[in-house]
A and B are shown apart, each in its own frame.
Chain A
């Protein structure tokens, strides 16, 4: 097995200040370009990316780092419990770029990308459903996969699997 590249290497030689693109820190992880904007920057960064030709938002998902806080992040990025990860594709340059945003547990809110990429509507609803991260400016932020009256957010690491109260237990018996 060839030794996989585990460390994050900046795009260029290590410099005192980390390399940035549209104001967000850039790193190359296993040959994939990753941007680390803050919550305040994210909409502007995505808009700038769209102007650069990254027209399609392929995927939006979340990660709960509750039980794995020691992940490798570039310098200057404070790890938070949640991370929202979005993938963009530029058809003309045949390139992909990934955007990772740190979202704190105390205030899990992020501006929605719906205005820029309407295709994120269902994806952001899924992240809200599964992680409880709210997207400001989303036109219809409701549960998408779980029932509307469900409690909790299943993909959170502290969501106890196997300890779900029995559904329909108050329902009257058949006879």
Chain B
């Protein structure tokens, strides 16, 4: 499909963004006005944390929407300017808490671009394995919350169950369920533990049958279909004009996946399909994520098969701490270890932008270095932050009850929106 620039005009005609300040909204409503301004969130159960929406309603029909964000803002970009590149990982991993590996990965890729280091193949493949495993848990989280928002409690329980099993696997590799800080500049924090192939294979073997169960439970269910199909429709032109990426863009039928189109890590060497929708509605966005679980499983199986031998991190004394065993016997190794963890390593002056395909879309990291051990400026381009702008256009003209399903289908993670 050829992209066109026509989305801008279409969006303008729709006029679905509400632009109104707090003070204006607080004024008493004009008597003869036919619309009402209603507040939804930030404590509304369907708003995925702390998203707040100001809705202009005509009866039950949503006319214009304004997403109000910032409730989780903790200044992580500012914090990142005061942490060394080694500590930076612990900071960024907390942004998108449903897919922490991706945050670490993009931060490390940007730093490595500045350093100009080349990774050993095993490090690259471990990173890819971790990323895809994290994509599984993130998509299972989506399936769970999407089911919960639409009143399917069993789906919620199933989704959490699968996600928890995936997290247990992540824990066995990294030591933590979430916020792993496992991807480090120059490789990963540790090698894969013994027996990882068996455990991962057992997990992957359990997935296809469960996905079939989900499809029986959801796709074949008229209520589920009625609540999602044909609602929250967005075309490819509008999605491109709004900068939407990930499943939202692919649901419009536009096949764009950074893993395939601008490959990083070793995605060139694995075989997988890019899932696209055809209607751009909430159902497509749900179905894409369900099927991406299958594609990620495919990549994981190839990771098990092709995992190269070798070192899991680059043996560059500038960025890699010495092996633990060397510290006991060598004074220099001890000093080296101490210096890396106290002072950090210096990164050459310059700027770099790295981007990867997170479960929610393009996750970018822009780092400006002034040659010191901390970034001069660290900016994260969060996919949820930009994707949230599609919400007013998707909800325009729909019912308020469908709005809940639409918010859920965007799958925003507020930690990343507010940073």
- A144-164 vs B: 1/0 string, CB under 8 Å? 111110000011000001000
Given the complex of chains A and B, what is the CA–CA distance between A85 and B70 in angstroms? 22
Residues of A within 8 A of B8 (CB): 115-118
Residues of A within 8 A of B389 (CB): 118-119, 121-122
Within 8 A of B (CB), among A60-97: 61, 63-64, 67-68, 71-72, 85, 87, 91-92, 94, 96
Given the complex of chains A and B, what is the CA–CA distance between A145 and B71 in angstroms? 7
Listed stretches B206-214, B217-225, B236-244; interface member: B236-244
Q: Determine if B353 and A98 form an interchain contact, defined as CB atoms under 8 angstroms apart.
A: yes
- B1-19 vs A: 1/0 string, CB under 8 Å? 0111101100110000101
Residue on B nearest A50 in the bound complex, by CB: B5
Listed stretches B29-37, B100-108, B156-164, B380-388; interface member: B380-388
Q: Is the interface of A mostly helix, strand, loop or mixed?
A: loop
Q: Determine if A94 and B262 form an interchain contact, defined as CB atoms under 8 angstroms apart.
A: yes
In the assembled complex, B306 has its CB within 8 A of some CB on chain A: no
In the assembled complex, A23 has its CB within 8 A of some CB on chain B: no
The listed residue with most B CB atoms (<10 A of its CB), out of A29, A91, A96, A115, is A91
Q: Determine if B366 and A144 form an interchain contact, defined as CB atoms under 8 angstroms apart.
A: no
- Given A5-B116, A50-B5, A119-B78 contact (CB < 8 Å): no
Residues of B within 8 A of A121 (CB): 17, 389
Size category of the B interface is 35 or more
Residues of B within 8 A of A116 (CB): 8
- B89-121 vs A: 1/0 string, CB under 8 Å? 000000000000000000000000111111000
Q: Within the complex, what minimum Cβ distance (angstroms) separates B2 from chain A?
A: 7
Given the complex of chains A and B, what is the CA–CA distance between A108 and B78 in angstroms? 20
Residues of B within 8 A of A144 (CB): 69-70
Q: Within the complex, what minimum Cβ distance (angstroms) separates A78 from chain B?
A: 18
Within 8 A of B (CB), among A96-139: 96, 98, 115-123, 126, 130, 139
Listed stretches A12-20, A35-43, A51-59, A165-173; interface member: A51-59
Q: Determine if A85 and B261 form an interchain contact, defined as CB atoms under 8 angstroms apart.
A: no
Given the complex of chains A and B, what is the CA–CA distance between A131 and B261 in angstroms? 33
Q: Determine if A119 and B244 form an interchain contact, defined as CB atoms under 8 angstroms apart.
A: yes
Residues of B within 8 A of A140 (CB): 17, 19
Q: Which of A55, A98, A122 lies in contact with B5, CB distance below 8 A?
A: A55
Q: Determine if A1 and B73 form an interchain contact, defined as CB atoms under 8 angstroms apart.
A: no
* Residue tally, chain A, CB below 8 Å to B: 54
Given the complex of chains A and B, what is the CA–CA distance between A32 and B110 in angstroms? 12
Q: Determine if A119 and B69 form an interchain contact, defined as CB atoms under 8 angstroms apart.
A: no
Given the complex of chains A and B, what is the CA–CA distance between A43 and B97 in angstroms? 36
Residues of B within 8 A of A117 (CB): 8, 241, 243
In the assembled complex, B316 has its CB within 8 A of some CB on chain A: yes
Q: Within the complex, what minimum Cβ distance (angstroms) separates A115 from chain B?
A: 8
The listed residue with most B CB atoms (<10 A of its CB), out of A4, A146, A154, A155, is A4
Q: Which of B113, B116, B240, B352 lies in contact with A1, CB distance below 8 A?
A: B116
Q: Can you list 9 A-B pairs, Cβ within 8 angstroms, ordered by A?
A: A1-B117, A2-B116, A55-B4, A58-B386, A59-B353, A71-B349, A96-B353, A140-B17, A144-B70
10 extra interface residue pairs, beta carbon distance < 8 Å, beyond A2-B117, A30-B352, A55-B240: A29-B350, A29-B351, A59-B381, A67-B370, A85-B366, A118-B7, A118-B389, A140-B17, A146-B73, A148-B21
Q: Which residues of A contact B (CB under 8 A)?
A: 1-6, 29-30, 32, 50-51, 53, 55-59, 61, 63-64, 67-68, 71-72, 85, 87, 91-92, 94, 96, 98, 115-123, 126, 130, 139-140, 142-148, 154-155, 161
